[in-house]
Chain A
Amino acid sequence: MQRGRRERVTAAPLTGPVLTVLVLLALELLSHWAIRLPNPAAVYLLAVAYSAYAGGVGSGLVSALLSFAYAAWVFSEPGQPFRYSAENGLRIAVLALATPALAVMVGFLRRLVTGETARATELAVRLEEAEARQQLEAALAMLFRCNPQPMWVYDLQTLQFLEVNEAAIQRYGYSREEFLRMRITDIRPPEDVPKLLEDVQRPRPALQASGQWRHRTRDGRILHVEIVSHTLTYAGRPAALVVAHDVTERHRVELALRESEELFRSLVEQSLVGVYLVQDGVFRYANPALAEIFGYPREELIERRGPKDLVHPEDWPLVDENLRRRLEGEVQALRYGFRGVRRDGRVIHVEVYGARTFSQGRPAVIGTLVDVTEQKMAEEALRALTRELEERVRLRTAELEAANRDLEAFSYSVAHDLRAPLRSIDGFSQALLEDYADRLDEVGRGYLQRVRAASQRMATLIDDLLQFSRVTRAPLEVQEVDLSTLVWATVEELRQREPDRTVEVHVTPGIRARADPRLIRVALENLLHNAWKFTRPRSPARIEFGVAPTPHGSACFVRDNGVGFEMQYAAKLFAPFQRLHRPSEFPGSGIGLATVQRIVARHGGRVWAEAEVDRGATFFFTLPGLREEADAGQDHPAGGR
């Protein structure tokens, strides 16, 4: 606008006077026919004056020149020769002097007038400009103050804050006044200050992105900010305008992401199982374990080899098909086993669990793989061993069954055939005694008595042996048994057999156990027969049956006040045919306690004895489910007799 106005003023000096003079000329020529001007030349003074006023002194002079030229022509009337006269000469001289003088005068006048106007205009423009600048500055200041990004200006030399905006005040928690009292080092964690000072001292471009920094708020929180700054002169001081972009949240997310990534990476990299990612028939990823399982360096696998290189050719169709099904989304995940081939050619058994996934936007299979070769081999070995064991058990069972059959036949034969000759020996000895008594003297008869006694002892021995073998062979039929009742039954039998003996018997009632009733009866009979036998010299003889706590748990006992035995022989007691007494003192086969031991052992119990010579003996035995039932009934009616 201003520029346009100035141009118009400068165009005036030439065009103005020429046009003015031409217009006057035209008017004068026109008026020549209409009216007769008394002094036509004077008219031109008007033109000169106007030109000088409008275009300045220059314009006035040009106009004066033109006017003079015309006036000179006018004075010589057209078609009339110029006549020199004093009057004309004076007129010309006056005109020649007056017009330029007028031009100069009006020109000065104009300069006087227009100079004032220009000054006034200049002042107005300047005022206008100042106002606009003020408005702009206010707007700019507002842009700084109200900028949503924290911003500040600091002195490049003193590092003092020179100005801060609202956002900085809010974000950092310091008031403007506090800010202006601080240096930029004051909003850093102390450990970051050296780095900052170093950074500030480096030569810098006007506009600089300084990257990420840590700032500290008034309440001690750490902000992660990205800093851009621009140098400027502020209040006459070299300074920098700083914009701090808060990236704390982004930083936190990045950190979490990095940690998570680090966690999973180390998990996968240190995993004992193989981990792989397959796409386009090659391993996009393989962890060290996978490489080790197949004996390849890892670099040789990744991007260079695929599953086909590691799978046994016979199993490849299966693996290929399974990969296809997952890549095409037919199934999400699969778990199966196949044979692999190591780099050294060795065949291994592996199991994989692979799932469909995406890698760089395309389907892929990610999974884990375990080498199960050793398990497979162990399983196979175990199966073979089991088969062998079963076969051996079968053979052994057959052998045992055969042996058992033989033993049974043997026992049967003993029962029948060993007894018959004894009966003959005994029977015919008796026949001799009866029929030929008169032909034998006392000694002869005594011999025959001995023959009979021996045959009868042998018969007892055979019976005991048969019983001993029977308790071993007979199947165990376990049920709830009342031992006290069994004891009484045996005692009654013994009393009937020897009614003359006085034996005090005490039986604790209600002693029960889980046992085979026939076998446990044999055991009790043997123990009670012994007690009965070895108390023969005692009067009164005492036999007691009960339950007592022992180091081996609750145990039954049969106690007598008989002749007892020396404890050093206690271990021999339960071996077959071991006897601690001479047959002449106490007859017996030496099998009874062996039988007891077998029976108790077959029930899972144990038997032992305590004794003292001439002070009696106590035989203990344990049985499963042994207990005493208080309400099992009263003492046997014969008790305490």
Chain B
Amino acid sequence: MRARTILLVEDNPDDVALTLRALRAHHLANEVVVAEDGVEALEYLFGTGKYAGRDPRELPAVVLLDLKLPRLDGLEVLQRIRSNEHTRLVPVVVLTSSQEEQDLVASYRLGCNSYVCKPVDFLEFVEAVRRLGLYWLLLNEPPPVR
């Protein structure tokens, strides 16, 4: 069984803490990599920069991607992931505060696998993260590694 890594791309440390807390609550947090902006997320995926030397063939089970990010925003990250042969098939879940239709449309057009709006109510948030973790880590069959 492959490592069940989650790549969490999130610049807000509060959201990172709350997400990790939610995942931990359901014992899904054993392997969570946090990238604080888009550039770092891509470095992780391609094994460059800060993550130079990492085997890029090791892909996360799911990328939880916020849209509003410093340096390179979520939509650009998604576009890079989808346009690279190596990362083209990795599951990406957009996890964002935005309910704007334009964000939804753009995300799906660029090929996200799912779009989840972070609820303000923490209990609802925990529930959402729990379901996400369960689904993508346990239920979903990841694409084959090439």
- Report which A residues bind B (CB closer than 8 A): 411-412, 415-417, 419-424, 426-431, 452, 455-456, 459, 463, 466
- Chain A residues with CB below 8 A from B99, complex form: 415, 463, 466
Which segment, of B38-46, B106-114, B115-123, faces chain A?
B115-123
Q: Contact: A419 with B14, CB < 8 Å?
A: no
Q: Contact: B120 with A412, CB < 8 Å?
A: no
Write 20 A-B pairs (CB below 8 A) sorted by A numbering: A412-B100, A415-B97, A415-B98, A415-B100, A416-B67, A416-B96, A420-B14, A420-B15, A423-B14, A423-B18, A423-B119, A423-B122, A424-B15, A426-B120, A426-B122, A431-B18, A456-B120, A459-B120, A459-B121, A463-B99
Closest to B11 in A: A420
Closest to B22 in A: A427
* In the complex, B125 has a CB within 8 A of chain A: yes
Q: Contact: A426 with B14, CB < 8 Å?
A: no
Q: Contact: B122 with A412, CB < 8 Å?
A: no
Given contact pairs A420-B97, A431-B18, A463-B99, a sample of 4 additional A-B residue pairs in the complex whose CB atoms are under 8 Å apart: A423-B14, A423-B15, A428-B18, A452-B121
Q: Contact: B100 with A428, CB < 8 Å?
A: no
Looking at the assembled complex, report how far the CB atom of A543 sits from the nearest CB atom of chain B, in whole angstroms. Answer: 27
Looking at the assembled complex, report how far the CB atom of A587 sits from the nearest CB atom of chain B, in whole angstroms. Answer: 15
* In the complex, B48 has a CB within 8 A of chain A: no
* In the complex, B12 has a CB within 8 A of chain A: yes
Of A416, A427, A430, A455, the contact of B97 (CB 8 Å cutoff):
A416
Of A416, A428, A456, A459, the contact of B14 (CB 8 Å cutoff):
A428
* In the complex, B26 has a CB within 8 A of chain A: no
Looking at the assembled complex, report how far the CB atom of A340 sits from the nearest CB atom of chain B, in whole angstroms. Answer: 64
Q: State whether A427 and B98 are in contact (beta carbons under 8 Å apart), knowing that A419-B118, A419-B120 are contacts in the complex.
A: no
* In the complex, B130 has a CB within 8 A of chain A: no
Q: Contact: A412 with B18, CB < 8 Å?
A: no
- Chain A residues with CB below 8 A from B21, complex form: 427, 431
A-B pair count, CB < 8 Å, reads: 61
Looking at the assembled complex, report how far the CB atom of B146 sits from the nearest CB atom of chain A, in whole angstroms. Answer: 36
A428–B15 Cα gap in the complex (Å)? Answer: 10
A456–B118 Cα gap in the complex (Å)? Answer: 13
Q: Contact: B121 with A426, CB < 8 Å?
A: yes
A412–B75 Cα gap in the complex (Å)? Answer: 15
A417–B120 Cα gap in the complex (Å)? Answer: 12
* In the complex, B86 has a CB within 8 A of chain A: no
Contact with A along B62-106 (1 / 0, CB 8 A): 000001100000000000000000000000000011111000000
Q: Contact: A430 with B118, CB < 8 Å?
A: no
A406–B100 Cα gap in the complex (Å)? Answer: 16
A412–B122 Cα gap in the complex (Å)? Answer: 22
Closest to B21 in A: A431
A625–B125 Cα gap in the complex (Å)? Answer: 44
Q: Contact: A423 with B100, CB < 8 Å?
A: no
Closest to B67 in A: A416
Looking at the assembled complex, report how far the CB atom of B55 sits from the nearest CB atom of chain A, in whole angstroms. Answer: 34
Q: Contact: B122 with A429, CB < 8 Å?
A: yes
Looking at the assembled complex, report how far the CB atom of B13 sits from the nearest CB atom of chain A, in whole angstroms. Answer: 9
- Chain B residues with CB below 8 A from A419, complex form: 97, 118, 120
- Chain B residues with CB below 8 A from A412, complex form: 98, 100
Q: Contact: B68 with A423, CB < 8 Å?
A: no
- Chain A residues with CB below 8 A from B122, complex form: 423, 426-427, 429-431, 452
- Chain A residues with CB below 8 A from B98, complex form: 412, 415-416
Looking at the assembled complex, report how far the CB atom of B56 sits from the nearest CB atom of chain A, in whole angstroms. Answer: 30
Taking each of B67, B68, B97, B120, which has the highest tally of chain A beta carbons within 10 Å of its own beta carbon?
B120
Q: Contact: B121 with A456, CB < 8 Å?
A: yes
A74–B97 Cα gap in the complex (Å)? Answer: 198
Looking at the assembled complex, report how far the CB atom of A448 sits from the nearest CB atom of chain B, in whole angstroms. Answer: 11
Q: State whether A420 and B18 are in contact (beta carbons under 8 Å apart), knowing that A415-B99, A427-B122, A427-B125 are contacts in the complex.
A: no
